[in-house]
Structure 1
Amino acid sequence: MPTTQTPHRTPLKRVSQGSFFALSRSGAFPDAPHGLGFLEPALSEFVDETEALQANVEGMKNLSDSLATFNESFASWLYIMNMNALTTDWTQAPTNASFVMAKRRAEQDALNAMEALKAKRREAEAAAADRTAMTEVTDAEITFAGNTTTNTSGQTSKFGTAPKKKLGKPKLTAKEKKQRSLEIEKIISCLPLEFRGSDPNLRRCMEMVIEGLMSSSSGAVKLTDLITPPDLTQARVNKCLIALVNRKVVRKDNSTGTVLYHWQGIP
């Protein structure tokens, strides 16, 4: 009799040994579900994760479609702008002639400014010459009046006594004028900003007030002595005197019943 041979069998892996039933009913998991019931929670979680993955992939696809639409629209806009720049003539754009005209206009403005400055300087020199001539004429009239009113014997002349005229300010030499200008500039540099050039009119008024105080023979003046309309009004003179008193360049004295301002200089 032919001998029966046992068919060849592949040995099972360790995990595959036994049945799922035996694995589910093992002693390690005594309360595990019956049969293949333990696969249901895992498959349910796998389905949820798969749906989330599908939603994320769809979101990425929508984002890609939006970016593609924007890129196409933006590229079209750039292309249109480029074509517009190449095909449109800008008639108002500056040319070489425009720059030449601008340079000539700037040179003409500079020349006009120089002419105006020269004209102003000539007017100032003419005004100074007129003031000098008036001072010389006044001094000559005073000298002539003094010679004709009295003779050597002390008797009055036949023309009678001439009315006394107010003596003008003593005439300063060029060196004295320069020294006084430097002293005035030094005093103004110690005053607030509005007197140092922020307001040119106020600076000029301050210079006139300081010069009036320095030219006083008695060393003390009243406020009304410094008023010279229309430049030196009472309000401007008062403002300048207040600044000088605060800086202690001028001393205010009202002990005699009359307000007097005494010149002291920079302490």
Structure 2
Amino acid sequence: MEAKAHRSTSRPRAPSRPTTPLRPSSRSSFREAHGYSHNISSAEYNQPAINALEPQFAELADSMADLEANFMHLQLMHESLTRFSESFASFLYGMNMNAFCVDFPEAPITDSFKRAKQAEAQKDAEIEPTRPDDGEMTFL
């Protein structure tokens, strides 16, 4: 006999659906938070509660304008760097193609360095015996 755990099928749930319904915000919370009276017809209530948030929204608008200007400068910098990168890559590609297409016969090879060392050693060997090694000679 197989023992299977059966789930209740009386209330199917969709996995992406929220379990709590969303409530609309109430206007009374704005009034109470900013010290406005509960009674709209009261003499203490002079302006809507949203006006109390005006400085914060003005600061937010200024900050968003600054952010937009900074992103525009960043976009200009990005375009400049892209142009430079493309130009420099083209230059490097041209140098690479030049190296493949052009032969440089004057360029030194490993044998050239060996020959230079041998010539230097030979020159040093020739200079040594020509020095006078006379003990009788006096310098004035």
Q: Which runs of 5 or more residues in structure 2 are unaligned?
A: 1-22
**Pairing 1:251-266 to 2, within 5 Å after superposition:** none
Matched, 1:34 2:54: no
Write the distance in 2 (CA, Å) between the matches of 1:84 and 1:58: 39
Alignment partner of 1:73 out of 83, 87, 91? 87
TM-score (norm 2): 0.54
C-alpha deviation, 1:116, in angstroms: 0.8
| Partner Cα distance (1:85, 1:31) in 2 | 86
Residue aligning to 2:101: 87
Output the CA distance in 2 between the equivalents of 1:110 and 1:14. 98
TM-align CA RMSD: 4.0
1:26 alignment partner AA: S
Q: CA deviation at 1:105?
A: 2.5
Q: Secondary structure at the match of 1:47?
A: helix
Identity %: 29
Q: For the Cα contact (< 8 Å) 1:25–1:32, is it kept in 2?
A: yes
Q: Which has the larger radius of gyration?
A: 1
Contact map agreement 1:32 1:38 (CA 8 A) in 2: no
Q: Which residue is 2:3 aligned to? A: none
In 2, distance between residues paired with 1:89 and 1:37?
79
TM-score calculated relative to the size of structure 1: 0.32
What is the match of residue 60 of structure 2?
Answer: 46
Partners of 2:107 and 2:88 in 1: CA distance: 27
Tell me, which stretches of 5 or more residues in structure 1 are unaligned?
1-11, 129-203, 206-230, 232-267
2:37 maps to a residue whose letter is S
Structure 1 residues 97 and 61: CA distance shift in structure 2, 3 A: closer
Where in structure 1 do 4 or more consecutive aligned residues deviate above 6 Å? none
1:61-89 residue CA offsets vs partner (Å, 9 max, x unmatched): 22221221121122112112212222222
Query: 1:84-140, CA deviations, whole angstroms, 9 ceiling, x for partnerless residues?
Result: 2222222222245534543442343233223313xx24xx37x68xxxxxxxxxxxx
What is the aligned partner in structure 2 of residue 56 from structure 1? 70
How many residue pairs were aligned? 112
Equivalent residue runs for 1:1-267 within 5 Å: 15-17=26-28, 25-26=36-37, 33-35=46-48, 36-95=50-109, 98-99=112-113, 101-117=115-131, 120-121=132-133, 124=134, 231=140
Q: Provide the secondary structure at the position in 1 that maps to 2:47.
A: coil
Quick one: distance in 2 between partners of 1:33 and 1:52? 33
